[in-house]
Structure 1
Amino acid sequence: MEFYVNEDTAWLRRIVRWAVNVVVVLALAWFLVYAFCAQVPVSGNSMQPVLSADDVVLVNRLVYDVGGPERFDIVVFEREDHKKNVKRVIGLPGETVQIKGGFVFINGEVLGVDNGLEQVSLAGRADTPIQLEEDEYFLLGDNRDSSEDSRFSNIGNVKREQIYGKVWFRILPLLKLDFIHSK
């Protein structure tokens, strides 16, 4: 069988095979990203230091078809004015959220995290206890002093159907290309 292999064209076949493999992998990656994910630009600095203004993130749109958002997930949700915002899930359905003394309380207990996400200087409408319905979430930006979030009546509690998906990867700027972790 090796008698019929032409050494002059063997290198050409290897290059063509390699190029076809690269094209197939790129096409598969493109399909997966655009079929199951979405690109969303981050507007404003409300999620600093995790995300900054003009970062572009990939959002997993399928993850919440299987289960619901969990505490500390970074999610994209659609506001009533049809703009997409990026915030962190703090309060879950059925919980009571209150901000007093600069701390977030969930069902009367201080939100227990070690990265400062429980501290808030402005309580907004959460200065009195807010009871979340069975399909509502309380979202806050990580940069609490510069975030328009569930503390304010123009955002309020976010319903499950408003949540577009979970942020999982930053694609731009290229120097900050990285997976985004919930905690």
Structure 2
Amino acid sequence: MRMRTLRPLLAVLAVAGLAACTGTPDKTEPSSASPTATSSASQSPSDAPAPDTETTVPAPPPSAPPVPTPGPGAGNAELSIMVKPNSTDPAVSYTLVCRDGRSTAESKHPTADAACAALKDNAALLSPAVKDPNRACTEQYGGPQTATVTGIVDDTPVDATFTLTNGCEIGAWAAARDVLGASGGAT
């Protein structure tokens, strides 16, 4: 008989203990409002759901010039190219001027004809895509060389920097090797 009277008491204590563990008050009467049925007008900004940042794609900066698509161009260019072999040696500078894919007399470049032909074949050669932080690049070192190319190709401004610090950078250097000249590190 004693067990019959203890069971309801144990059940009440168990519910009270569970309510104490979860931090919810022990309510014996059902609430008239459902906890999930709250008005969106009464929600505070902190109660609003967080935006889905995993699928949000950042917009390109509004001031960024358009990047030409790879493919043939008119082959017109006026470029200043500076290749620095390392941190201690002086930079080697070139001037490249192309008209219709051919070098002009103003060019002071070791492989001017090849550079102009490369720019005519691929007008976007010196306008690499914005670096994607999620792109995997091999961790390899191609050397201390750096190159800076400024100017204009087919009416598109160019301000590009090349390094050999990883596989992606080495690939970009190799693609532009004709324009970077004989001092370029990647072959």
Normalized against structure 2, the TM-score is what?
0.25
Larger radius of gyration: 2
Greater relative contact order (Cα < 8 A, sep 6+): 1
Normalized against structure 1, the TM-score is what?
0.26
